[in-house]
Amino acid sequence: MLPEALTHTWPWYIAGPLIGLFVPLLQLVGDKQLGISGNLRHLCSALLPRRNDFLRYDWRGAGAWNLLFALGTLAGGWIGVSLLGTREIAISPETQAALRGLGLQDLSGLAPREVISWSGLLSLRGFVSVVVGGFLVGFGTAYAGGCTSGHAINGLSGFQVRSLWAVLGFFAGGLLATHLLLPLLY
């Protein structure tokens, strides 16, 4: 009933250019920058406008469209998983072997259950992976002035040097975590 293209994952060479072309199109047509991490500030400003000076600004003018974009992203993800797709993630055999070598056995679903579960969260490695890792991602996003996708897609397409440094930092952090931290934890 649905077109074949809507029921399967798109290859990188199609999805990547479409995302890359969406950024300048959004800038040209709507004079908007694609980004997601600023939505937390917009949401806090809308819900808690008198809490501090950082949250006192016109969030409707600055971020209303961005909040709608975030809601659309959530709705699109739900539609994609619930109506069009599967909850299984295609992981290459090499990556599966590497993850199993770290002690992760249940690779079904969206995330390894040994880490992303209540029992996994109560373990040292689950706590470090989820809570400490989540804090570091949030801190890094605030410190870098944007998230990984915002800098990599939007910032680099605008030839922003700070985005290049941020993306290099994100990759360096990912490599260090993968090759140094994960082997210590798992």
pLDDT for 34-85, tens place per residue?
A: 777 778 778 888 888 676 787 777 778 777 888 888 889 889 888 877 877 6
What pLDDT, on the 0 to 100 scale, is given for residue 57? 79
Burial class (CB in 10 A: 0-12, 13-18, 19+), 71: exposed
What pLDDT, on the 0 to 100 scale, is given for residue 103? 79
**Residues ≥6 apart with Cβ < 8 Å to 109:** 87, 88, 89
What pLDDT, on the 0 to 100 scale, is given for residue 75? 93
Helix, strand counts (H, E) of the chain: 11, 0
Q: Give Cα 186 distance to the centre of its chain.
A: 23
Half-sphere exposure of 177 (CA within 13 A, CB side): 15
Question: Where are the domains positioned within the chain?
Answer: 92-186
Q: What's the whole-model pTM score? A: 0.66
What pLDDT, on the 0 to 100 scale, is given for residue 84? 72
Taking the C-alpha atoms of residue 34 and residue 17, their distance in angstroms, rounded to an integer, is: 15
Stretches where the chain sits below pLDDT 50 are: none
What pLDDT, on the 0 to 100 scale, is given for residue 125? 82
What pLDDT, on the 0 to 100 scale, is given for residue 2? 63
What pLDDT, on the 0 to 100 scale, is given for residue 164? 92
